[in-house]
Structure 1
């Protein structure tokens, strides 16, 4: 329940449209609902402006369905990351509005329109192999109400591909740069724009890439100003942070 819904409920009680007992019943789930295996944080919307996001990895199908149902029943939007097709089918069976991005492994349910009208977020990848992480970032940002424009497979090995898309990249309010291997993309993009750049190292690469560690260290040591870094393969974290910046 967000601030507007809470205010609306209090006004309805004041005007006699909703009884005190009914209002108490609606509010009893605050600050959280205890499902036994999970405590769904219903204050998240009040504190941060968006409901709790479901991290599906290592959860059972039944747990994912129950949490998504709990969030959706309150009229909130649902964003569930690292979800398998089996999880999606089970959620879709209970919540018909559910949509699934298979590459991103993200389930979304839109119960109310959320729109950020201040500009768009650009998501850029070094290679096609980085697209799964990039799609997670893009789906997250879209679910949070942002316009997203993508530039895929534009890494430094063929830097003319990046330059061909400079207008799109430089026109964004925030840029998410997703790359594996040595992770040089973030530094190059950071040197070309006057907007915040969120670097996302991916685990894509050969042995000495160390499952993304080399890209992470490159991005942390970027010589370009205005580059911040999230964890390896953390497209969700990048999309969420980009949305917070875009809303400011």
Structure 2
């Protein structure tokens, strides 16, 4: 209640700060590199990454440093993978739903496929910085989850939690504080939604939430300074160290969930 009251009082300041951040934050390009392909001659795992600029790898130069490339690097000693990345800067849950609901030619290299063993999602930052409220966002997320589950029949859907916007160097206070609180609220409700979905016995897909462990190993640095070191130059997107940690959690879930038989 205190957060909502303060947010209403600070609304004019938050709006002005948000506009300034949009105007002054550098726009980084999506990284180069293959988004569809396979590793090795006999893939036994199919992987799809869906989402926004973070899913696309903004913040690094090549896909080899981004989430997709780091996942493939960690999986390569154990399993060959069919992989696909469908992500776009600025994507929201609503825009991604719209893209998935458009008529798709069966020859489309990504959306035309009929099955993925694992789907990793990364959506929410662009929702949270817009005017969408939590209830509406949860409805959209549930529609999104139901759509990808029905269309691709994955064994595992790994849902990436909203990042800690309260630690983003690009954001000034009180905007940083407000968005951080908002992200915590959205994450709490998202976790409840995933628990509810997992309790529905008819589902063949298992949902799991990925929350990045952003622990500062350098006590002499403030958390904000640490984030400046591990994030991209714009202070808003992940850097290679965060993509590496993110990929590690994804691979851990894939292997622990017995989604694929490995050769190791």
Q: TM-score range by the shorter chain?
A: 0.3 to 0.5
> Structure with the greater relative contact order (CA < 8 A, sep ≥ 6): 1 or 2?
2
The normalised TM-score by structure 1 is 0.42
Larger Rg: 1
